[in-house]
Amino acid sequence: MRGKSFFLILGVIFLGLIGTFLLFLFNSTSIKNGGGAENVGFIVGLIAADNKEDNLLVKEVYDSLESSKSEYAGEFLFKEKIVASEFELNVKTLVDNGSSLIYVIGQEYVAVLPGIAEKYKDVDFVMVNSKVKEVKNVTSLEINYRGSGYIKGILAGELTNNKIVAAVALREVPVVVDELSGYQKGIESVDRDLAFYWGYVATSGTGATSVKLVEEYLSYGADVVFPMAESDNEVVLKLLSDRGVKAITNSSSYFSAYKNVVAAVSMDIKGELLKLTKESKEQGLGGGNVIIPVLVEYNGDVDAVLKSQVKELLGKVNSGQYDMDVMVPME
């Protein structure tokens, strides 16, 4: 009886070891967010120093890559809140799971990425909104928020009759600060004496704070407003429409509902990321610098001279002739 019990215990231990081993294999291939690596195909990775809930840039890139998986016919793996000391380990994890293209977001990685990229010569790396040392398999991608804001500021400065413009933003995060700074510099380039009012909502959803801020700016005489408070934008645009106040937005999707939206200045981030991803899949990227172009669309009649002026400025912004680090210096 003792012998049977002994073998029974051995059997239980053996099964336990097998189960632990299988669990280890399963966990070694599971990566937070964006699917797993069980499909053998083109796999895109994203490593970010922040999480997507707190960083709008990370969220935009994440959403673009996640929502376009079917278009590049691949899988998407995401690692967030990765400190610089753990960056290489996470690159290895993604590569081991099949990633041949890795997007990188975080100033913290600028110093370490070139050396790591040299170790993974068969992997394309795309550094988003940070400049890195030139390496053959590292592409620098600039999402030009300051340039987009600058063009909006030019339009606002030219369109105001009262010489008073405004903006209402969601919260103080880097991409929003960049765009607001560009907006202010654009306004100042038209006329340094123009008054500019702006503020942060902090939270969105009810629209109450946004409306309160906009009401305040309208009481000062603001006649051109740039709403950038995300889900509050509809509430703000309705208020501006009711008051007959011009608006400049980030999307032409507002054109049909709000005739007071005179222009939309945007960037096709999803489209450009998809283009890079497909290029990497088909032939590899080969490094270099890529600037996502700023686009301008008009709603109704806008002065032909102003359109021509903006078109010329747009060419300089998109070609890099206007260096935004010089045009819109950040402290």
pLDDT at 230: 79
- List, for residues 117-131, the tens digit of each pLDDT value: 999 999 999 999 888
- List, for residues 221-262, the tens digit of each pLDDT value: 999 999 998 778 999 999 999 999 999 999 999 999 999 999
Residues 265/206, Cβ–Cβ less than 8 Å: no
Please give the mean pLDDT across all residues of the chain. 87
Band the pLDDT of 12: cuts 50, 70, 90: low
Domain with CATH 3.40.50.2300 in the chain: 42-143, 145-267+301-327
Band the pLDDT of 26: cuts 50, 70, 90: very low
Share of the chain above pLDDT 90, in %: 71
Beta-carbon contacts of 59 under 8 Å, excluding residues fewer than 6 positions away, are 52, 53
Which of these ranges, 172-176, 237-241, 306-310, has the smallest mean pLDDT?
A: 172-176
Order across the sheet with 164-169: list the strands: 195-200, 164-169, 224-228, 246-249, 261-267, 294-298
Which of these ranges, 17-31, 156-170, 283-297, has the smallest mean pLDDT?
A: 17-31
54/138: higher pLDDT: 138
In whole angstroms, give the CA distance from residue 227 to residue 254: 12
pLDDT at 133: 82
- Supply the CATH classification number for the domain 42-143: 3.40.50.2300
∠ at Cα 15 (11, 20), nearest 5°?
150
Share of the chain above pLDDT 70, in %: 86
The DSSP symbol for 108 reads G
44 - beta bridge partners?
76, 101
Burial 147-167 (b: 16+ CB within 10 A, else e): bbbbbbbbbbbbbbeeebbbb
The most distant pair of C-alpha atoms in the chain lies apart, rounded to whole Å, by 100
Sign of the Cα pseudo-torsion (209, 150, 141, 115, in order): negative
In whole angstroms, give the CA distance from residue 205 to residue 296: 28
Band the pLDDT of 27: cuts 50, 70, 90: very low
Residues 152/265, Cβ–Cβ less than 8 Å: yes
CATH topology of domain 145-267+301-327: Rossmann fold (3.40.50)
Half-sphere exposure of 277 (CA within 13 A, CB side): 28
pLDDT at 174: 85
pLDDT at 32: 38
Q: Where does residue 309 rank: exposed (0-12), middle (13-18), buried (19+ CB within 10 A)?
A: middle
In whole angstroms, give the CA distance from residue 184 to residue 181: 5
